[in-house]
Amino acid sequence: MAKLLSLACFRNEGWHNLSARSHYPSMPSFPKSEPGTSTVEEPSKVTALFSVHGMTCSACAGSVEKSIKRLHGIHEAVVDVLHNRARVIFHPSFVNEEAICEAIEDAGFDAALLTDVTNENTIQVCRIQIKGMTCTSCSTAVESALKALSGVVGAQVALATEEAQVHYNPNIITHSQILEAVDEAGFEATLISSSEDLSKIDLHVEGDLTNNDMIKLVEDSLRSLPGVLELHTNLEFNKISLSYKADITGPRDFINVIVETSNGNLKAKIFPSEGGRRDAHRKKEIKSYYKSFLWSLVFTVPVFLTSMVFMYIPGIKNLLDSKIVKMLTIGEVIRWVLATPVQFIFGWRFYTGAYKSLRRGSANMDVLIALGTNAAYFYSVYSVLRAATSKVFEGTDFFETSAMLISFILLGKYLEVLAKGKTSNAIAKLMNLTPDTAILLSLDGEGNVVGEEEIDSRLVQKNDVIKIIPGAKVASDGLVVWGQSHVNESMITGEARPVSKRKDDTVIGGTLNENGVLHVKATKVGSESALSQIVRLVESAQMAKAPVQKFADRISKYFVPLVILISFSTWLAWFLAGKYNAYPKSWIPSSMDSFELALQFGISVMVIACPCALGLATPTAVMVGTGVGASQGVLIKGGQALESAHKVNCIVFDKTGTLTIGKPVIVNTKLLTKMVLREFYEIVAAAEVNSEHPLAKAVVEYAKKFKDEENPSWPEARDFISITGHGVKATVRNKEIMVGNKGLMVDHNIAIPAIAEDLLAEAENMAQTGILVSINGEVAGVLAISDPLKPGAQEVISILKSMKIRSIMVTGDNWGTANSIAREVGIEDVIAEAKPDQKADKVKNLQASGYTVAMVGDGINDSPALVAADVGMAIGAGTDIAIEAADIVLMKSNLEDVITAIDLSRKTLFRIRLNYVWALGYNLLGIPIAAGVLFPSTGFRLPPWIAGAAMAASSVSVVCCSLLLKYYKRPKKLNSLDIGAILIETSSDPLIIHDD
């Protein structure tokens, strides 16, 4: 998933906008605001296409991509080495096309802008299910066909999931044209989803649809509903598709309109979910292979028996050797009749696959199977026909070779599809978390419950109030409006401990209510829900190719042609050797001649080679690895992040909200002037209440203790200014108030008394943040604010040291507090008073020094550094799962998940390498053996049907090797971490010092 640059207008690193509760990470997409403003706006993103010349391989493309991403303001960069172009999405307020061209040229390549800059909003994404792909060459061919389309700016095809994700400009091309292009490439394409589906629903209408007037009336009634954007009716499938604004209307309204308009003659329900359709397709494919294999077996077993078993039973052998016409025997006729349906009915899928592959100018596994089985079958036909026309020719047929080859390959494909289905179990489990039904509450004007109704959970609309009983799953994301309970969120976040929920707390759809009844107001439904976004994130991760996959892609282009060449060379070598008596006649089995022996060697070479295993090595491991990560609360955005994380040898930590809990509280107050504490906090809170900074919120929260309940409002603050990196300034009760750090006072020429300096130093030594308050140009008080370390922070840093990973802390806080926190947690390298862009510069300097750098932050002020790092890890401390800046999201906000992410990455890469050992080693060993290198010395040769079985087994072994990742356990060291409670001691009696 693409990275998104975002900066926030906060005074220093320690003042992030973090919530007190544990929920999803949020990466607001907005740039740094100018001083004096308290709000920010999201910047526009634009897309540009560049021609890049000089690239020769994927390594060149990687260099170009990295050079572009190093620039400040890059959202996404995708380099296509095949078409010599790069698509870049960027923020024009930070970087322009000229700078991007310069970065590409600095990497050693020629660059030019191809297209005018367009709004990113015009780019849409569609996901397509593709049937008929058998190996990497198929997926590469589809990807090339898609990328060649005008209007397509990016395409990724995943062999393991049999899906494609296409980024396209709808003003140039439609998703229907994209589907046609896939069909023309020789594959069957079905649209799964598109960007337009974010507020779209398909309804299945039941009843009499022959009444055109009624259908027209229903359509008009639906179109007249507020919020309905588009409507399409497909009477062939009894389907009505609607696009709508979820804030205004929803599926329940549509169903009610259909029923009421038709006077009950028509009823409607929601079509099966995407997960159900995908599952149905997978089951259909499994059933198809299973059925084909069984029927093939029915015909193949008699062929095998007549050729391999019955020939050694005297009575039956004589019967089978009986002549029908000249030298044609009964056994040959039986084998011919039985092998023919196996070859042309059950093996027809291999013919169609080979034809489509050759038609597009490539060769895949189907080509090898078709060539191998045809060679065996048609030579056998030739032998039979010659025997029927000759009085002396005693031919040998290979009908059992072709029949058994097809049967074993069908068995292998059945097992492979079965195993591949299990690699995506993580997504299936996530999609099944949503309950089937929900209890909808009816409220009167005063908010009192007047009724309840059980409905399909997919009919829940925004602002509905639903009832969650103990033991039930939460039907949608929402806000608790009544009740108190504990909710188990482990299925979403991986957090084992139930989370307390009360009024105004957020709940996540799919989580389990353990005790107590909750009334929840739905805030996000359908595709907007956190669960749906997690599913999309994992699906997107499984679609993305890991860099190591390029290795298999390069091999696949030449693999099949090379195997065919080796196969033909093997046959020719053995044939010539036999013809010119280069080996003893005793080597030739009694049932065949030298030509037939050579033919068997050639066929064995052709069918033992397996490009499928190479193509499945990486994607299946990535699928399982990302799924396991999601189940443990670690969302990994694709193969790139998974592969990069295992190389990390330096981690840069943010402080507030990352190493600390991110909930600062005032622990001490020192007054330096004669004032009543209540009056002091009233004017300070009046100035700070306009700020979104966590430290400001801590001040306001503490000031509430002195507030009169009868007068809950704060005094008016005029001329409010937020000064980035320093503090705030305002006029309250005709007094000029400034609240912030030492730099704020120095910049405004306010003298800092020695006692205030001492108090600041004391706070910093205790790992607290000291805040100065000035009134009318004089320092009136010092506030000490503490943000305690997260539980387990020290142990995590210690474990990272044992893993030989360097830890660095970069913070916007002052040096004293930063050093104190660093000493406490065990970090030796500290950079303090760093602004967001300086954090990114530090990351780049470390990379220039040869480190592979991971940045761990809360994703707000840390966004530039998250983008610059080789691996950005976002601590889950926000309110929205739709984060873009990071490569990995740690949903539980626990630091130990940093270690889990790195360890999982290493385990997954180990599996990928092991898969390549299986795939490559198998082919490197199997092909020579099939070619007969052992035959002269040992007499061992590999019959074609055994070679075919071995080929099928290689794909299954690779998938099963990946599936072993499902049993991943996080490092045992993490299980011993003592995650205790956090105790914050505050001073109830502030020290008041009168500076006379």
C-alpha to C-alpha distance for 79 and 54, rounded to whole angstroms: 13
Q: What are phi and psi of 208, to 5 degrees?
A: -80, 110
Contact 867, 849 (CB under 8 A): no
Q: For the chain, what is the total number of helices (H) and then of strands (E)?
A: 31, 38
The conformational region for residue 238 under phi > 0 = left, psi -120 to 50 = alpha, else beta, is left
Amino acid making up residue 467: K
Alpha-carbon gap, residue 18 to 804, rounded angstroms? 31
**What pairs with residue 77 in β-bridges?**
88
CA atoms of 864 and 76, how far apart (whole Å)? 13
Token pair for 810: 């970069």
Q: Is the dihedral of CA 496, 497, 498, 500 positive or negative?
A: negative
**What does residue 785 show for φ and ψ, rounded to 5 degrees?**
-115, 130
Which of 197, 366, 553, 654 is catalytic? The answer is 654
The one-letter amino acid at 90: F
Give one DSSP letter per residue of 465-498, joined into a string: EEEE-TTPBP-SEEEEEEE-EEEE-HHHH---S-
Look at residues 476, 530, 456, 458 and name the one whose alpha carbon lies nearest to residue 466.
476
Looking at this protein, which amino acid is placed at residue 593?
Answer: D
581: left (phi > 0), else alpha (psi -120 to 50), else beta? left
Residues 348, 349, 354, 360, CA torsion sign: positive
Write out the two tokens for 896.
Answer: 């130990």
Classified as helix, coil or strand, 930 is: helix
What own/partner pairs with CB < 8 Å and gap ≥ 24 does 206-211 have? 206/238, 206/266, 206/267, 206/268, 206/269, 207/262, 207/265, 207/266, 207/267, 208/265, 208/266, 209/235, 209/238, 209/266, 211/265
Cα 824 to Cα 820: distance, rounded to the nearest angstrom: 6
Structure tokens at 624: 């399982």
**How far, in Å, CA of 111 to CA of 860, rounded?**
33
Contact 608, 927 (CB under 8 A): yes
CA-nearest of 728, 682, 674 to 705 is: 682
Backbone angles phi, psi at 732, to 5 degrees: -130, 125
Asked if 268 contacts 255 with a C-beta cutoff of 8 angstroms, the reply is yes
Distance CA 268, CA 271 (A): 9
How far from 619 is each of 145, 624, 638, 643, 690, CA to CA, in Å? 21, 9, 10, 12, 49
Residues whose CB is less than 8 angstroms from the CB of residue 867 and which lie 6 or more positions away in sequence, other chains included: 3, 4, 5, 69, 74, 840, 885
The answer to whether 654 is a known catalytic residue is: yes
> What are the residues whose beta carbons fall under 8 Å from the beta carbon of 985, sequence distance 6 or more?
667
Closest CA to 670 of 816, 773, 778, 814: 773
Q: Are 181 and 191 spatial neighbours (Cβ–Cβ below 8 Å)?
A: no
Q: Please, what is the end-to-end C-alpha distance for the chain in angstroms?
A: 61
Q: Which residues are catalytic?
A: 654
